[in-house]
Amino acid sequence: MGSMGGSKHLKSIAAPRYWPILRKEYKWVVKPSPGPHAIARSIPLLLIVRDVLRLAKTGKEARRLISEGYFKIDGKVRRDYKFPVGMMDVIEVVGTNEYYRVVPVPTKVLDLVKIAKEEASFKLVRIEDKTTVKNGHIQLNLHDGRNILVRVSDPRNPVEDVYETLGTLQIALPGQEILNYIQLKEGVIAIISGGRNVGRVGRIVSIHRGMRRHRSIVTIEDKNGVKVQTSLDYIFPIGVEKPLITLPEGAW
């Protein structure tokens, strides 16, 4: 991605392969702003409006709609057409009662799934890291760039700290109160967020931990009994008895 430089645009050929653009039609494509998701793991809002939702025919039209505040990401109006939209983000088309979630899908890597208004009130976020901060409180660092502070009454006995790295939080939008927690363990339902099995959904059958996270291998079994393996890095828990989110048809 070295060719991207500091410009506002990047050559279409250098864009992530899954971006929904016609590479022969557009030589240049908008480059996402620095934001909660890495460029390689996000799609600029303009492309979602024009190329995925097809609510605009041109980039100019899409920029106008975005600047006028027609799109909320995770409950907040975003007016930057380069805003990076990534995995598990919730998109609301203001005034239309239409809501979508960005989920991993086979081959395309990221796509939108239409969801009900009730489901748009929450988001799933994976705990990437956790640190102890001042007064013994715990800070959870999440996959979408946000941080949540877990307040601890007694640092010597932090009973409130039940959260483990690579587990998933269900949080309210936009306030980010913790509604639920899914521990990464055998038996839970997970979606694969990257690699050649991206978008596959199944129950975790086994977790073989290596010296490093990317060397740890997880096996999941889908609804048809087919087992696939992937790196622990790509495992995103989404439910215990059933998925907490709407998935593409046939995924579960």
For 19-28, 205-214, 238-247, which range has the lowest pLDDT when averaged over its residues? Answer: 19-28
pLDDT in tens, 86-126: 999 999 999 999 999 999 999 888 999 999 999 999 999 99
Q: Which fold has domain 10-87?
A: 3.10.290
Architecture field, domain 188-239: Roll (2.30)
What is the average pLDDT across 61-79?
Answer: 97
Per the structure block, which two tokens stand in for 117? 């208004």
Cβ partners under 8 Å of residue 166, min gap 6: 126, 127, 128, 184, 213, 232, 235, 237
- DSSP states of 41-63 as a string? GEEEHHHIIIIIS---SSHHHHH
pLDDT in tens, 134-157: 989 999 999 999 999 999 999 888
Please give the Cα distance from 2 to 143 (Å, whole number): 24
pLDDT in tens, 221-232: 999 999 999 999
The pTM assigned to this predicted structure is 0.87
Element (H, E) at 64: helix 59-67
Q: What average pLDDT does the chain have?
A: 88
Q: Residue 224 phi/psi, 5° resolution?
A: -95, 5
Does the pLDDT of residue 3 top 70, yes or no? Answer: no
Q: Strand runs (DSSP E) across the chain, as ranges?
A: 9-11, 28-30, 42-44, 71-73, 76-77, 84-86, 90-93, 98-105, 109-115, 122-132, 138-142, 147-150, 168-172, 178-182, 189-192, 201-208, 217-221, 227-231, 235-239
Please give the Cα distance from 110 to 49 (Å, whole number): 15
Please give the Cα distance from 114 to 110 (Å, whole number): 13
Residues 71 and 50: beta-carbon distance below 8 Å: no
Does the pLDDT of residue 24 top 50, yes or no? Answer: no
Task: Identify the CATH homologous superfamily for domain 121-181.
Answer: Ribosomal protein S4, central domain (2.40.50.740)
Please give the Cα distance from 98 to 18 (Å, whole number): 23
Please give the Cα distance from 135 to 128 (Å, whole number): 22
Instruction: Give 192: exposed, middle or buried? Use CB within 10 Å, 0-12, 13-18, 19+.
Output: buried
Q: CATH 2.40.50.740 residue ranges in the chain?
A: 121-181
Identify which of 74, 94, 96 has the alpha carbon closest to the alpha carbon of residue 86: 74
Q: CATH 3.10.290.10 residue ranges in the chain?
A: 10-87
